[in-house]
Amino acid sequence: MKTNTTDNLIEEMFGMFRHMRSEMSFTNNFIHLSILQIQALMFVSHNEHVSMSDLADYFRIELPSATSLINKLCEQKLVNRYEDPKDRRLVRIALTTEGKKLTQEAMYHRRKKVEKMLSYLSEKQKTELMSILKTLSAKLQQ
C-alpha cells in the first residue's frame, strides 16, 4: 500500500513530538518535572498575577486539570497560591524562590537540548524550518 506525503508527515511529526516530550522533561538531583509542569512554571514566570483560569485557558485544559497541575507544583514547593487582594474568589499563582531558580535551570537545559537537536541542520534548513513553523503558527491562530 502506497502512503502519501501527509501520512509520512504525520508519522514524522508524532515521532518528533514523542522524542521532544521525553527530551524536554527535566530532572535535577531532587525533582523530576514533566514538560507540562515546566511549561506551567515558564508561563507563571512570564506572566504576573496568573490565575488558575489563565493557566487552564493557556493550556486549553479544564480547570480541575489546571488545579491538579498546580497542586503537584505546590507540593514540590515551586509555586504558591494566594488570594487576589481585589477579589478573594480568585486564586493567583506565583513562583517561589526555588521555583524561579528551577525554572531558570530548566530553561537553560531546554535551550541546550534544542541547540543539540538543531545542530544536525544547516543554517539554510534552520531558516526554512523557522519559516514553515511561522507559517503554520499564523494559520493555526486564525
pLDDT tens digits in sequence order for the chain, 142 residues long: 556 888 888 898 888 888 777 776 666 655 778 888 989 999 999 998 899 999 999 999 999 999 999 999 999 999 999 998 888 888 899 999 999 999 998 888 888 888 988 999 999 999 999 999 999 999 998 8
pLDDT for the residue 3: 65
Domain spans of the chain, in order of start: 5-119
Closest to 25 measured CA to CA, from 10, 9, 41: 41
Three-state DSSP class for residue 96: coil
The CA distance from 30 to 96, in Å, is: 16
Residue at grid coordinates 523557522: 130
The CA distance from 42 to 93, in Å, is: 12
pLDDT for the residue 44: 96
Domain boundaries 5-119, CATH class:
mainly alpha
**pTM of the full structure:** 0.74
Question: Inter-axis angle of helices 35-46 and 52-59, to 10 degrees?
Answer: 120
